[in-house]
């Protein structure tokens, strides 16, 4: 599984970008919960989710900076 491309994120509109941020944060929460309760999980998904969240937040912040 490869990291998502930033070009995919930049093509999103603002509403889908905000929705995707919430989904990614929820995924990270679920992964942390699985780790804490010693359920089976794939540790590399932490890295992928954090990377995706960083991309989403970077694009959101740059768009908000352009508007104001």
- HSE-CB at 58 with a 13 A cutoff on CA atoms is 11
Cβ–Cβ under 8 Å, residues 53 and 25: yes
pLDDT for 56 equals 96
Domains in the chain (CATH in brackets) are 13-67 (1.10.287)
What's the rounded Cα separation, in Å, for the pair 19 and 15? 6
pLDDT for 16 equals 96
Reading the chain (68 residues) residue by residue, the pLDDT tens digits are: 677 789 999 999 999 999 999 999 999 999 999 999 999 999 999 999 999 999 999 999 999 998 76
Predicted TM-score of the model (pTM): 0.88
């Amino acid at each position: 599984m490869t990291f998502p491309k930033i070009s995919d994120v930049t093509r999103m509109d603002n509403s889908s970008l905000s929705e995707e941020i919430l989904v990614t944060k929820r995924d990270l929460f679920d992964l942390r919960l699985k780790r804490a309760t010693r359920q089976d999980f794939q540790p590399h998904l932490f890295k992928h989710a954090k990377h995706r969240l960083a991309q989403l937040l970077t694009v959101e912040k740059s768009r908000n900076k352009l508007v104001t």
